[in-house]
Structure 1
Amino acid sequence: MLASAARKPSVAAIDGVALGGGLEVAMACNARISTSTTQLGLPELQLGIIPGGGGTQRLPRLVGLTKALEMMLPVHGEEAHNLGLVDAIVPRDELLENARQKALDIYARRKPWVSSLYRTDKIEPLGEAREILNFARAQARKQAPNLQHPHVCIDVIEEGIVSGPHAGILKESDAFQVLLKTDICKSLVHLFFAQCGTTKVPGVTDLGLKPKQIRTVAIVGGGLMGSGIATALILNGYQVFLKEVNQKFLDAGLGRVKVNLTSSVKKGKLTKEKFEKTISRITGVLDYESFKDVDMVIEAVVDNVSLKQEIFSDLEKYCSPNCILVSNTSTIDLNLIGEKTKSHDRIIGAHFFSPALVMPLLEIVRTTKTSPQTVVDLLDVAKKIRKTPVVVGNRTGFAVNRMFFPYTQAALLLVERGAGVYNIDRAITKFGMPMGPFRLCDHVGFVVAVASGTQFVYSFPERTYKSMLIPLMQEDKRAGETTRKGFYLYNDKCKASPDREIKKYIKKAREISGISVEPELRKLSDNDIIEMVFFPVVNEACRVYAEGIAVKAADLDIAGVMGMGFPPYRFHVFPQQFYLELYNKIIILRFNIRFVYRGGIMFWGDSVGSKYIYERLNEWSKLYGDFFKPCDYLAQRAALGAPLVRFSLIIFFRYIVEFKNVKYTICCFAEFAIGSNKIAVMR
């Protein structure tokens, strides 16, 4: 770094965000001064790489080894000062003057002139350091057993501690270049940029509109969803009114909020003092009288059209004309919900995913009449409650549920034709999904699964697979986890185990549908199962994209990963030879390992190839019906030999890495994109 080799002292004045390369520039300076709101960290591991500008060597020397290993997530200015990462915290308007004075003091030898690369006062003794690193390796194996780059990062840090900072810098540089070429990195970089882009909505966020100040929010319905939304809001400073139909339900709803907050206290995420302040922000009510001054109302009752219509009619009467009216529906047409109102421009959907407090995705659903201002306002709320918003159009299932409704239906089709329930779930979880389709049905409950399925049968009858398997199980009072019987059996701790009785329901479902067992489907490989379950999902995602339900294909990738748990990458256990020779610049492709990377449903579809997906779906549609029929958009892309996405980050990334100076080119793309928005270096 030029800053560390300069003849004059350098002081970094930091305000805003200094992540990745931005923080590495600051650490190369002789001192750092920041504001209290500054964010600092090295989150490169989240992109499948390691810090590539000396971060693995300088950070441990500034804050100590233990804290350095924890700092892959951002910290704020005050905490950074306590750790020793920054030397002083000052107000924003005094930042540059203090940085200049600090540089002059160092130059005049009134303050020590020390390079962070040569500091040793925070580094633990060698034996203790190795214990810390070995513990970190064990944690990495436990949390991400098949990922190599966390281990590479630990090895690079150890090299610097054992052999000195220059040896560590060289090892860091070599490892960084190799990791950049891995498919895990490509997938995670794609998702990083996709997530950054979800708040950019053409025709909305480019109009110069400013979000309104929303301070008070009312929630109708205190069930699991309503109480989860309420908790997220009060944790982030909003005043909340929670309405229920009677005192019993209201007490239960408020009790759930209290349980959520108590859990945060037990986990150390919330102090007892903040608990009291947070719980004071919620008020329970039994009528609409308190709604006249609220800025936003979120309806979070069961998906019943007539009930929602009644609620929205009442809201229009009691709320101010500027109040935003929000429905938390997961599938129902918003135009239908607001049919009996006149306030169509301020009606919008906010589809939270369960559990609402934990799940990071928020689908913002707009109709053709929803005003851009209303969308901007809800985007701002999403940001403040730390959700990733994806703006989608108003059609059954919106984006996530629409894309993934073929997921369970494909699995049911395969089972009724001979495939095994547990073979399918095993193959799908091996692929990287958190749950297979049948385990997921048990988890959400058969009542919800059937109700959701009915919406799709009504909206898309020509391509919906109608199975009698779940209704037959419901007749025997099987409903999933709640009854401890579904596709699996459940013990007191909700641990699932296979159930032999499932076979009788499958046999009866075949008899009712007149379906016979297909011998070839009884012998499906894991790869065949993955293709037959997920290619229909890709097909439906193409429809969603072509219809304009999603603004960008990358939004669908984020929606699938954050809403359904679609794996962000495909991991591989590298051969030991690769791991040992990585630092000798042995290029990964010499081992002829074939990588398939995920990066979201559309990104994954492009890595497989539009032509291949089209051909397979076309073949299955001739054998098993229109459920597998390729959509027009997929057919067009396959005929052109084109990717599913009209402009793909995959292509852009591959083009970039062909440059001669791989490290510096990619560093700008993958690392400084994380960057910092305000760093000044004073000399």
Structure 2
Amino acid sequence: MGKGRTVMEVGDDGVAVVTIVNPPANVITLDVVRSLKGNFEEALRRNDVKAAVLTGNGGIFSGGLDLSILRAIQKKELETIKVLFTSICDATDIIEAAEKPLVAAIDGLALGGGFEITLACQARISTTRARLSLPELQHGVIPGFGGTQRLPRLIGLTKALEMILVDASLFLLCHPLSKAIKAEEAHQLGLVDAVVSTEELLSTARCWALDICESRRPWDRALSKTDRLESAEEAREILNLARTQAQKQAPNLKHPLICIDVIEEGIVSGPQAGLQKETIAFQELILSNTCKRLVHVFFSQRETTKIPGITDLGLIPSNVRKVAVVGGGLMGSGIATAMILNHYPVILKEVDKKFLIAGIDRIKANLQSLVRKGKMTKEKYEKTLSLVTGVLDYEIFKEVDLQVFADLERHCPSHCILATNTSTIDLTLIGQKTNCQNRIVGAHFFSPAHIMPLLEIVCSKLTSPQVVIDLLDVGKKIKKTTIVVGNCTGFAVNRMFFPYTQTALLLVDRGMDVYKIDHACKEFGMPVGPFRLADLVGLGVALATGMQYLENFPDRVYKSMLVSLMIEDKRTGEASQKGFYKYDGKRKAIPDPDVMKYVEMSRSMTGATPDPELVKLDDEGIAEMVFFPVINEACRVLDEGIAVKASDLDIASIFGMGFPPYRGGIMHWADSVGAAHIHGKLSEWEVKYGQFFRPCSYLSERAIGGVPLSAPTEQAKARL
């Protein structure tokens, strides 16, 4: 929070180059801002300085505001916020009002607060690899250093709203930077004035600054520009449309709407009024629960790479160069796609030519989808597809370094990692007939594997730390967020979420409507409810995994007949065009009244009677009944040491199951609700509906002792 600096060098041409130096990402800290302000003031005083250039060290302009500052403010260090805003406002005011021109020279990333500083400059020059973004909404705040006011004046209201608000929906997927503006687009928008090579960046920026100084180029002050702004009537229509879209994309969130109000204030009442409202809104939002939770998610994601007893051993990743995938079905083809998209050659093995062609076709379809969306050129498509080699035997497997496991020990070299994508089966059972259990590891991808951001790495007691290090490296290279967990049925993610569907089935047998439950879960913030999710994964898969849990956790599995009855009637989910919903050849899920007859049969067979109290539950009450058993199982996962850190389960719930990140993840949300409340409700439901809801000892002890559920156990403290 208090490190970093800027360095100023004045050349013979009279241009002062001010460089942000705060590796690795040149984030904006209080020290950086103070140093920046000091250098600007010096440059303005000195007679030998005609103009200035602002740039970043090490091939990156700035990664934005150091989020440790937000954490400090949230911990009641309120003096920090006053110093921060005074310093940054002073710096941007100096830049905007300076009598000497300042040009931003942008290489690499220019994000958030760093990007906002460039908007106060009189011009911006970038390299071809520059990426510009305002991701503040992902952290529960809005651009707070003038971005809401300067950006619309530079590129127009419509494009500015796209840049600022697009992340209102993106952070629901936790995929930051996926909509960063590239250099060429920024140039077309007028956001940067020229795009040059890295070698030419500083010399071009220096010349540009001198040209402005000597009136050969226009002197643009962003806050004074109005030529790009739409008319008042057009602006009103655009802003109202943006509000409608924001409410549709993120109905539980207020800060996107606050951001639109701030932008509107600047258009209606002028830029200074807009800046004032921006500052007030930013300061208030920093202390909001949404911001606290999203900042927690940000730091928790970083912590997933720190695994006690593995990443602290000084091991260096081996160079995995080739991957084999056994089976080209939905998951196998998705994993292969994820690998080739990140330049790994893949051998795809199938049992016969028909299945092999089908697997290759799935990979082609995955890549063609990227081409249609403009994310991949046809040339890149051909080059990427060429990395896949289809085979029907194991002869070529002697060359691979990573193998998605199918008991192929004798076909692979001794250094090959044997990784299984099973989502539930205990690794010990998978490897019990091999002599290389130290090389067996779980590499659990989530469907669709080339899109979903989580990779769950599962270690048995025999898995080598080196194997985990190697798989962590592969996960990083294929752009996955990884969590490392222990071995058990369902591992961490699927195990803690198996009650999600189980509870929903219990509620239906007790009289609740299938679609009311799904609606309540979506209102809570989930991308889909439990029944739509069952259709997506397939009811056959749901039943098979349910049997695994029944075998291993018989005391806490609800035995509904509903899924079995539907499968018997060939209602197997989206793939068959009918499950809990009907699809009519499209992905749109349509409620199906015919489902009710299966519900009635299930109720009859299980002897369950409708409960009028349950039927009257509102969305909040339904969400509690669905998610409190998930929290209960997550507590067991922590208690057993399957996961060491509660924050890992937060990340797993968000990236693997779509739990709303603005709630902070499953355990963070649980702490906000309170262990005592969760324990009380589960105990009440146990009396009414059976032992399925019985609180575990971990939850009971913490509810009684007033200890947060996310606080580490003594065992975890020893490991950490």
Quote how far apart the aligned CAs of 1:80 are: 4.1
What is the rounded CA distance, in whole Å, between the counterparts of 2:601 and 2:231 in structure 1? 69
What is the rounded CA distance, in whole Å, between the counterparts of 1:608 and 1:109 in structure 2? 61
**Are 1:553 and 2:618 counterparts?**
no
What is the rounded CA distance, in whole Å, between the counterparts of 1:498 and 1:136 in structure 2? 29
Superimposed CA distance per residue, residues 10-35 of structure 1 (whole angstroms, 9 cap, x where no aligned partner): 45455554321222233334444555
Q: Please, which of 205, 209, 213 is the counterpart of residue 319 of structure 2?
A: 213
What is the rounded CA distance, in whole Å, between the counterparts of 1:106 and 1:373 in structure 2? 57
Q: 2:115 is matched with which residue?
A: 23
Q: 1:474 is matched with which residue?
A: 567
Superimposed CA distance per residue, residues 542-576 of structure 1 (whole angstroms, 9 cap, x where no aligned partner): 1112222223212212222222222334xxxxxxx
Contact (CA 8 Å) 1:391, 1:551: kept in 2 or not? no
Quote how far apart the aligned CAs of 1:436 are: 2.7
Matches within 5 A, 1:44-63: 44-63=136-155
Q: 2:685 is matched with which residue?
A: 620
Superimposed CA distance per residue, residues 437-491 of structure 1 (whole angstroms, 9 cap, x where no aligned partner): 2333233222111110111112212222223333234334433344444444554
What is the rounded CA distance, in whole Å, between the counterparts of 1:158 and 1:554 in structure 2? 38
Quote how far apart the aligned CAs of 1:613 are: 0.7
**Are 1:353 and 2:446 counterparts?**
yes
Q: Please, which of 626, 640, 646 is the counterpart of residue 705 of structure 2?
A: 640
Q: Please, which of 312, 320, 330 is the counterpart of residue 224 of structure 1?
A: 330
SS at match of 1:290: helix
SS at match of 2:661: coil
Aligned length: 607
Q: Please, which of 421, 443, 459 is the counterpart of residue 328 of structure 1?
A: 421
Quote how far apart the aligned CAs of 1:518 are: 4.5
Q: Please, which of 226, 249, 263 is the counterpart of residue 143 of structure 1?
A: 249
Contact (CA 8 Å) 2:252, 2:525: kept in 1 or not? no
Q: Please, which of 467, 475, 487 is the counterpart of residue 382 of structure 1?
A: 475
Quote how far apart the aligned CAs of 1:170 are: 1.1
Quote how far apart the aligned CAs of 1:189 are: 2.8
Superimposed CA distance per residue, residues 104-159 of structure 1 (whole angstroms, 9 cap, x where no aligned partner): 77667776654444345655566665555455445434433554433332333343
Instruction: Give the letter aligned to residue 24 of structure 1.
Output: E
Q: 1:268 is matched with which residue?
A: 374
Contact (CA 8 Å) 2:638, 2:645: kept in 1 or not? yes
Higher RCO (CA 8 Å, separation ≥ 6 residues): 1
**Are 1:5 and 2:98 counterparts?**
no
SS at match of 2:339: helix
**Are 1:279 and 2:372 counterparts?**
no
Matches within 5 A, 1:152-171: 152-171=258-277
Contact (CA 8 Å) 2:331, 2:449: kept in 1 or not? yes
Measured at CA, do residues 162 and 36 of structure 1 come closer, stay the same or move farther in structure 2, by a change above 3 Å?
same
Q: 1:662 is matched with which residue?
A: none
What is the rounded CA distance, in whole Å, between the counterparts of 2:204 and 2:509 in structure 1? 72
The more displaced of 248-257 and 178-187 is 178-187
In structure 2, stretches of 5+ residues that fail to align are 1-88, 165-178, 714-720
Measured at CA, do residues 524 and 251 of structure 1 come closer, stay the same or move farther in structure 2, by a change above 3 Å?
same
After superposition, the CA RMSD in angstroms is 3.2
Q: Please, which of 459, 462, 469 is the counterpart of residue 366 of structure 1?
A: 459
Matches within 5 A, 1:191-210: 191-210=297-316
Measured at CA, do residues 60 and 503 of structure 1 come closer, stay the same or move farther in structure 2, by a change above 3 Å?
closer
SS at match of 1:71: helix
Contact (CA 8 Å) 2:512, 2:615: kept in 1 or not? yes
Superimposed CA distance per residue, residues 27-70 of structure 1 (whole angstroms, 9 cap, x where no aligned partner): 33444455544433111122232100111122234444443333
SS at match of 2:468: helix
The more displaced of 14-23 and 273-282 is 14-23
Q: 2:509 is matched with which residue?
A: 416
TM-score between the two structures when normalised by the length of structure 2: 0.76
Quote how far apart the aligned CAs of 1:285 are: 1.5
Q: 2:655 is matched with which residue?
A: 562
Contact (CA 8 Å) 1:4, 1:30: kept in 2 or not? no
The more displaced of 106-115 and 134-143 is 106-115
Q: 1:451 is matched with which residue?
A: 544
Q: 1:573 is matched with which residue?
A: none
Q: 2:624 is matched with which residue?
A: 531
Instruction: Give the letter aligned to residue 25 of structure 1.
Output: I
Q: 2:48 is matched with which residue?
A: none
Q: 2:667 is matched with which residue?
A: 602
Instruction: Give the letter aligned to residue 391 of structure 1.
Output: V
- Identical-residue share of aligned pairs (%): 63
**Are 1:343 and 2:436 counterparts?**
yes
Q: 1:397 is matched with which residue?
A: 490
Q: 2:352 is matched with which residue?
A: 246
What is the rounded CA distance, in whole Å, between the counterparts of 2:609 and 2:266 in structure 1? 65
Measured at CA, do residues 355 and 124 of structure 1 come closer, stay the same or move farther in structure 2, by a change above 3 Å?
same
Matches within 5 A, 1:122-137: 122-123=228-229, 132-137=238-243
Quote how far apart the aligned CAs of 1:225 are: 1.1
In structure 1, stretches of 5+ residues that fail to align are 300-310, 570-597, 649-683
Q: 1:426 is matched with which residue?
A: 519
